[in-house]
Amino acid sequence: MMQEDDLRGLAKIMAFMRAVSILLVLMNFYWFCYSFFHDQGWTLEILERILKNFQRTSGLFSSSLYSKLFALILLALSCLGTKGVKNEKIKWTNINSCLIIGSILYLLNFPLIQISASLYMLTTSAGFILLMVAGLWMSRLLKTRLMDDPFNNENESFMQETRLIENEYSVNLPTRFYYKGKWNDGWISVVNPFRGTIVLGTPGSGKSWAIINNYIKQHIEHGFAMYVFDFKFDDLSIIVYNHLLKHSDKYKVKPKFYVINFDDPRHSHRCNPLSPSFLTDISDAYESAYTIMLNLNKSWATRQGDFFVESPIILLAAIIWYLKIYKNGKYCTFPHAIELLNKKYEDLFTIITSYPELENYLSAFLDAWEGGAQDQLQGQIASAKIPLSRIISPNLYWVMSGDDFSLDINNPKEPKLLCVGSNPDRQNIYSAALGLYNSRIIRMVNRKNQLKCSIIIDESSLIYQKGLDSLIATARSNLVSVTLALQDYSMFTRDYGDKEAKVIQNIVGNIFSGQVVGDTARTLSERFGKIVQKRQSISINRNDTSTSISTQLDSLIPASKISTLSQGMFVGAVADNFDEKIDQKIFHCQIVVDNEKVKNEMKNYKPIPQIRSFLNDAGEDIMDIEIDKNYRKIKLDVSFIIADEMQRIADDPELSHLIKKNKK
């Protein structure tokens, strides 16, 4: 009740002040246009006495401008306390127009006194009315400031980390963030990259430009061994090569740079991912076969355990392990495994079952073979042959059948920086081979007493990598930093299955996200949590405008904000260490990149040198001849293996029954 009485009293004071200001304008007319009123017979003696006494004591009417200014001040004060009226279409352009026109008519019309008193009074009145309307509208608008922040930017801005925290492993990114109405400088400090990093964002959001490139450069400057999966070769590889040239002195043992590139053998080293030294147990062969087959059949990730999914994997694993055993692994390569799989299954099973450790491994095939279930057997074999037939390529055979280097890239005695290049146009052909390299490297680097290592995989969802979740979960103690870049979480779910995709998402400690939409944006918003936010509520009726302010817990970074981020803007969170606490782990900022500096740097990049020349003594290019010769040699090797093994079995009395069974 008291509050209502106070409001009524304030309203009366404001009305009185406005009445006084109007009265002062009328007195101004009477004083400065006296001759006009005298001619009309509208003068009053008592009014003249009041005005003379008022002028004598205050000097208010010594100038037309003084009395107008005083009236204007009273008008402004009265407008500040005026109750709002019902009008939701007020705009600042209307207010500014009224203020400008009203000021001109009201304050700058004093020369009209000498010309026409009626014109002077008319313009002054019009100017006064316009100024009063502008004041009332301005008061109304100042009370509805909610309209000034329609996207709730002020409530959803927050203080972010401004300290630069560096250590021997850290990745530090300069930022600019909005807080309390202004842009501030800050830092994102990834002080523990070994807890895993995911970089999300739709194409063109700036993942590589702002983040991946910085990870590559700063990890090289810190002396990391490195494996980079370059989806659009050679976008990342050329950065690795040139930055290594500048900073090779950061390593105790100078590392070597290696490239795997199926498109151009001249610019590719050769490496056998199924080298016998990597296969210490038959489970290693199974893991390799599993990776190969799931990269060729992405839908199998959600059907693990199905008979016609496991059968081809088991068959390929048996072939790989057989090649490991035969002649101490002399022919143990992926191309030899493909060619051996495509031989007659009668010969293949006769040879493999001659080894006791593989006989039980292929029991499902043997049961079908011995039981005469030819349709089932053909289906099992075809589910392995058909996908692998897609990747038969002389170039791929050439690269994967050599031994220029080993995949222990973080060996402290022989550190390596390896870039494996892909081609988006041939993804279906190369995926199995690339996945095999990824899988073997992941297995090799996660060992103790090795050099700190950085694994950076661009478009990681496009290559299935068995054991990726285990690597992120366990490699921290072995100083292995894993950075995965992808466009959306749904791609992980599609290629890894729901359960494995969820595990990878949830165990990563550092996350960066550019623009993403849908479920991914909602998942991230939930991860960043909520914050207490002010809510302003405005009620407008015909006579009054009332404002109420409340607080409520709401999303710190809503999904709608994440789905509309501009290029170069990122949200995310970082992990910290016991002795390097980061209070403001969450960020919503622009990652600052000196574009001119980077472009100038890239102009001076040296191209990746040619690794192998295919010129003969006469200077002729014989690359196609050499690659085709290698292709035919692998086929001859497999034919020799079949003939040699069948002869061995025929000469062994204990095994010769297998050939008889085969003939039967």
User: Cα 632 to the chain's mean position, in Å?
Assistant: 45
User: What is the C-alpha separation between 197 and 504, in angstroms, rounded?
Assistant: 10
Distances (CA, A) of 194 to 87, 483, 497: 59, 9, 25
Domain boundary among 121, 143, 165: 143
The per-residue pLDDT for 5 is 60
| Residues 382-400: tens digit of each pLDDT | 777 888 888 888 999 999 9
Domain boundary among 117, 143, 169: 143
Structure tokens at 120: 């002077």
Amino acid identity of residue 133, one-letter, is V
User: What is the C-alpha separation between 420 and 437, in angstroms, rounded?
Assistant: 8
Does some domain include residue 357? yes
Does some domain include residue 333? yes
Contact call for residues 573 and 528 (beta carbons, < 8 A): yes
User: What is the C-alpha separation between 256 and 410, in angstroms, rounded?
Assistant: 11
- Strand runs labelled E in 217-337: 225-230, 256-260
Mean pLDDT per 10-residue section of the chain, whose length is 664 residues: 57 79 82 75 71 63 78 80 56 82 83 80 87 79 57 83 94 94 94 95 92 96 95 91 94 94 91 89 88 81 71 88 92 93 84 82 70 68 80 90 92 94 81 87 89 92 79 89 93 82 91 94 92 71 63 86 94 93 94 92 92 82 90 95 89 66 53
Does some domain include residue 527? no
Does some domain include residue 377? yes
Contact call for residues 521 and 489 (beta carbons, < 8 A): no
Largest CA distance in the chain: 147
**Token pair 């500096």: residue:** 597
Distances (CA, A) of 233 to 268, 492, 560: 12, 22, 34
Half-sphere exposure of 299 (CA within 13 A, CB side): 3
The per-residue pLDDT for 352 is 85
Contact call for residues 354 and 655 (beta carbons, < 8 A): yes
φ and ψ at residue 584, rounded to 5 degrees: -100, 80
Q: Burial letters for 528-566: b for 16+ Cβ neighbours within 10 Å, e otherwise?
A: beeeebeeeeeebeeeebeeeeeeeeebbbbbebbbebe
Does some domain include residue 266? no
The per-residue pLDDT for 94 is 81
Q: Is 174 helix (H, G, I), strand (E, B) or coil?
A: strand
Does some domain include residue 328? yes
Bridge partners of residue 418, in order along the sequence: 227, 258
Contact call for residues 288 and 442 (beta carbons, < 8 A): no
User: What is the C-alpha separation between 112 and 3, in angstroms, rounded?
Assistant: 48
| Residues 51-87: tens digit of each pLDDT | 666 666 556 777 777 788 888 888 888 776 655 544 5
User: What is the C-alpha separation between 296 and 492, in angstroms, rounded?
Assistant: 16
Taking each helix axis as running N to C, give the angle between helix 427-445 and helix 282-296, from 0 to 180 degrees, rounded to the nearest 10. Answer: 150
User: What is the C-alpha separation between 189 and 174, in angstroms, rounded?
Assistant: 9
The per-residue pLDDT for 241 is 96
User: What is the C-alpha separation between 459 and 613, in angstroms, rounded?
Assistant: 31
User: What is the C-alpha separation between 144 and 134, in angstroms, rounded?
Assistant: 15
User: What is the C-alpha separation between 422 and 231, in angstroms, rounded?
Assistant: 5
Q: Which helix (H) or strand (E) holds 340?
A: helix 334-341
**Token pair 């100042």: residue:** 142
Give the number of domains in the chain: 2
User: What is the C-alpha separation between 659 and 508, in angstroms, rounded?
Assistant: 54
**Token pair 């959306």: residue:** 488
Q: Are strands 569-573 and 510-513 parallel, antiparallel or unpaired?
A: antiparallel
Domain boundary among 126, 143, 160: 143
Instruction: Give the 3-state secondary structure of 222-254.
Output: CCCEEEEEECCCCCCHHHHHHHHHHHHHHCCCC
User: What is the C-alpha separation between 89 and 435, in angstroms, rounded?
Assistant: 61
Does some domain include residue 523? no
User: What is the C-alpha separation between 585 and 510, in angstroms, rounded?
Assistant: 9
Structure tokens at 265: 């053998």
Sign of the dihedral through C-alpha 11, 13, 15, 18: negative
Contact call for residues 565 and 514 (beta carbons, < 8 A): yes
Asked if residue 469 has a cis previous peptide bond (ω within 30° of 0), the answer is no
User: What is the C-alpha separation between 610 and 244, in angstroms, rounded?
Assistant: 17
Q: Which helix (H) or strand (E) holds 119?
A: helix 117-142
| Residues 533-553: tens digit of each pLDDT | 777 666 665 555 566 777 778
User: Residue 97: which domain range?
Assistant: 2-143
Q: Which helix (H) or strand (E) holds 188?
A: strand 182-190
Does some domain include residue 421? no
Distances (CA, A) of 251 to 226, 248, 441, 481: 12, 6, 21, 17
DSSP letter at 208 equals I
Q: Which of 549, 485, 445, 555 is nearest to 201 (CA)?
A: 485
DSSP letter at 609 equals P
How many residues in the chain?
664
